[in-house]
Amino acid sequence: MRWTPSTRPLSCREVVELVTDYLDDSLSPKQRARFEHHLTGCDPCVEYLGQIRATVALAHRVHPDPVDPPTTQRLVELYRAWQRPST
């Protein structure tokens, strides 16, 4: 079989780069099939996907403490200063 860029198996690096899109269900059907095909033969990538799923689930359970208005204002000022072009 002759591989083309859209049919060759994904590398582990490519799977890592696509994992968020996979979890967000934003891969095309062809990309999703290639992603899932890679998982059938790569236990480390299956484990990585599981770790990312667990991280996302935990992150959804965290509720940040409110930030007081003076701190919020200072953070906004710092961000704006960082965004200004240097002269």
pTM of the predicted protein model: 0.67
**Three state DSSP letters for 48-72:** HHHHHHHHHHHHHHCCCCCCCHHHH
Q: Is residue 4 part of a domain?
A: no
Q: Is residue 29 part of a domain?
A: yes
Domain that holds residue 58: 12-83
pLDDT at 87: 63
What's the pLDDT tens digit per position in 10-33?
999 999 999 999 999 999 999 999
Domain of 60, CATH number, reads 1.10.10
Q: How many domains does the chain have?
A: 1
